[in-house]
Structure 1
Amino acid sequence: MSQPTSAQPWTFDVGGPALYGQHFAAPHERGAVLLTHGYAEHLGRYRRVIQGLTEMGLSVYSYDQRGHGQSPGARAVVDVDVLVGDHLRAREALRGLGVPLFAFGHSMGGLVTAASVLRDPRGLAGAVLSSPLLLVGEGESAALKALSGVLGRFFPSLPVTALESGGLSRIAEEVSAYDSDPQVYRGKVPALTAASMLRVSRQLTAQYPQWRLPTLIVHGSEDKLADVRGSRRFAETAGTALTPRPEIEYLEIEGGYHELFNDTVQAEVTARLLGWLEKQLNSEASAAPL
């Protein structure tokens, strides 16, 4: 696989130690994408997606979230609200690029992206949510949910939930690459991380009708790591309180696992992503004043 064009260091102010980030410049820039990775992984796992984006003229900005990859912080021990604040700061740093900016978030990064957009949609031309973690703890008792909050507050690093990497992809080589990646965290989900995922996902649901951005959601029907029902609910309710309702496009892949861009349907899903972004860029161009 060829490398994305012009990978350069990129940082932005987070009010503390800098997060590790990179900028992949498109040769003939038409737009830009802020890409946010999922739980336990890092930005380096998105080379294939980044390559496709830069080839169509979209520069990519990405960073390892706190506690992940090469960024500082206790490994995978994160408060999603803090991650949302980082995302908002990253977006602020990208204001004034002079080209349309899109937000792409996968899994926990999809939850972070959705929360960021709902807090402030300004400055974004659209959003892409890849297997977003929008529904957490469905079916768990109220007592267990309350206990998760207590554990997250007083024992933030306590390991509470195991995730199986076999649910990532139907391609064995992709699962093996994940398992052998030294930058991937492979322990149980810490209590603070699990509790904050639950809290933020529950807070967002009532806000979906106020969603203001054109959005593409992609999710596999057999995803065992991020509940597909969360994406279905989002697709049904996002923007419904607005007139006109923003364009919400939902693609559910029958039999698809969690990482669709690393699954047997990667070519189909990538083509759908690039086609959707092309449509949005053309819409932005046609709406621009003469």
Structure 2
Amino acid sequence: MKIDTKSDYIVMEDGARIALHTWIPQNADIKYVVAISHGMAEYALRYERFARFLCKNGIAVYAHDHRGHGQSAASEEDLGFLAEKDGFQRVVLDLRRIIQKCRGDFPEAKIILFGHSFGSFVAQSYMEQFSAEIAGCILSGTAGPRLPLSIIGNRVAALVKTFKGARYRSKFLDKLSFSSYLDRIPEKDSPFAWLSRDKDAVKKYEADPLCGFLCTAGFFYDLTDGLSRTHRAKNIRKIKNDLPVLLFAGTADPVGSYTKTIRALAAVYRKNGMSDITETYYEGGRHEMLNEVNYAEVQADILKWISAR
């Protein structure tokens, strides 16, 4: 199957230029569009293998570079900086604009939101605000409620931001966030070994200047601010009860506390009346299951979940 690929920019309400990448299967009756919300310190084109897999199965894919990431960052100085104000919510609204474009381009198709890691936190907030606008949500390498930790992290990030500036790149905040992620990794030959058991995938990430960069104090403030507002009972109750949600992760992924907080999140969703919650955990898998040694199995499971709905 031939695939039309395109990269362009969309200007958001605050003037930010957001890079959008699309993969559209030619001559296909497109019933689904997957909108990808990528993770922290990476970018949308890293999902090309996954996008092409979906396209070969008749599914169109839209993936944008979050502000401060990939081609949306106007310069190296902008990497890891979201916005001067309300950065997390701005990223949520950027995602909404992309999904509105998906609907405009394919008005008859069902739109599935796919969020990974930081992008999954954005997706969780999106569900709490705009769940009526999507037909399903997939959360990859995500985490569940950790409100006290988020609030404490936000206060620490606020202090660094106040005294050093929003664009200051804080090794302290980075270490605070990620220093424990190698604790259960037997081989520590890379600071990013927690991402995948595939050593080549880790090396590729490590060598990519658009991956693994040190984010700004403003980013950490925005992230923890967003997390401190997500998962609140009044917000989760706003999610439509019939929204299908797939949560998947590796059992060796530290982001979701080795599935602990992910399972807690799924339980919260069910407790609030959501009737179609699926959990899939891959034994020994690390954070980036789409770049793991068993990525083909993961892709097939995602396709099966989408097709069943």
- Structure 2 partner of 1:288: none
> Equivalent of 1:148, from 147, 157, 167?
157
Q: In structure 2, do the counterparts of structure 1 residues 5 and 13 end up closer, same or farther at CA, with 3 Å as the change threshold?
A: same
- Structure 2 partner of 1:14: 12
In 1, distance between residues paired with 2:3 and 2:98? 21
Q: In structure 2, do the counterparts of structure 1 residues 51 and 26 end up closer, same or farther at CA, with 3 Å as the change threshold?
A: same
Once the two structures are superposed, what CA deviation does each residue of 1:117-148 show, in whole Å capped at 9, x if it has no partner? 211112211011111244568658x6664232
Percent identical among aligned pairs is 23
Aligned residue pairs total 274
In 2, distance between residues paired with 1:263 and 1:12? 32
Once the two structures are superposed, what CA deviation does each residue of 1:237-288 show, in whole Å capped at 9, x if it has no partner? 115333xx330101122221000111122122111101001111xxxxxxxx
2:25 is paired with a residue whose SS is coil
- Structure 2 partner of 1:174: 201
Once the two structures are superposed, what CA deviation does each residue of 1:20-69 show, in whole Å capped at 9, x if it has no partner? 11110023122111111100001111112111111111100111111111
Q: TM-score, normalised by structure 2?
A: 0.81
- Structure 1 partner of 2:97: 89
User: Contact conserved, 2:147 with 2:228, CA < 8 A, in 1?
Assistant: no
User: Contact conserved, 2:110 with 2:134, CA < 8 A, in 1?
Assistant: yes
> Equivalent of 1:253, from 274, 282, 302?
282
- Structure 2 partner of 1:161: 174
Q: Structure 2: any 5+ residue segments left out of the alignment?
A: 179-190
Aligned residue type for 1:157: R
- Structure 1 partner of 2:250: 220
Once the two structures are superposed, what CA deviation does each residue of 1:88-144 show, in whole Å capped at 9, x if it has no partner? 12122222422111111111011111111211112211011111244568658x666
Q: In structure 2, do the counterparts of structure 1 residues 239 and 91 end up closer, same or farther at CA, with 3 Å as the change threshold?
A: farther
Aligned residue type for 1:223: D
Q: In structure 2, do the counterparts of structure 1 residues 20 and 145 end up closer, same or farther at CA, with 3 Å as the change threshold?
A: closer
Aligned residue type for 2:249: H
1:19 is paired with a residue whose SS is strand
- Structure 2 partner of 1:51: 52
- Structure 2 partner of 1:285: none
In 2, distance between residues paired with 1:81 and 1:134? 18
User: Contact conserved, 1:76 with 1:185, CA < 8 A, in 2?
Assistant: no
Q: In structure 2, do the counterparts of structure 1 residues 236 and 88 end up closer, same or farther at CA, with 3 Å as the change threshold?
A: same
In 1, distance between residues paired with 2:90 and 2:291? 28
Task: Single out whichever of 192-201 and 46-55 deviates more from structure 2.
Answer: 192-201
Task: Single out whichever of 156-165 and 129-138 deviates more from structure 2.
Answer: 129-138
Aligned residue type for 2:80: A
Aligned residue type for 2:79: R
Matched, 1:110 2:142: no
- Structure 2 partner of 1:77: 81
Aligned residue type for 2:239: W
User: Contact conserved, 1:35 with 1:60, CA < 8 A, in 2?
Assistant: yes
Task: Single out whichever of 173-182 and 227-236 deviates more from structure 2.
Answer: 227-236
In 1, distance between residues paired with 2:152 and 2:37? 32
- Structure 1 partner of 2:231: 205
User: Contact conserved, 1:31 with 1:58, CA < 8 A, in 2?
Assistant: yes
Q: In structure 2, do the counterparts of structure 1 residues 134 and 66 end up closer, same or farther at CA, with 3 Å as the change threshold?
A: farther
RMSD over aligned Cα, in angstroms? 2.3
In 2, distance between residues paired with 1:4 and 1:143? 50
Specify which structure has the higher proportion of helix. Answer: 2
1:238 is paired with a residue whose SS is helix
Q: TM-score, normalised by structure 1?
A: 0.86
Q: In structure 2, do the counterparts of structure 1 residues 255 and 135 end up closer, same or farther at CA, with 3 Å as the change threshold?
A: farther
1:8 is paired with a residue whose SS is strand
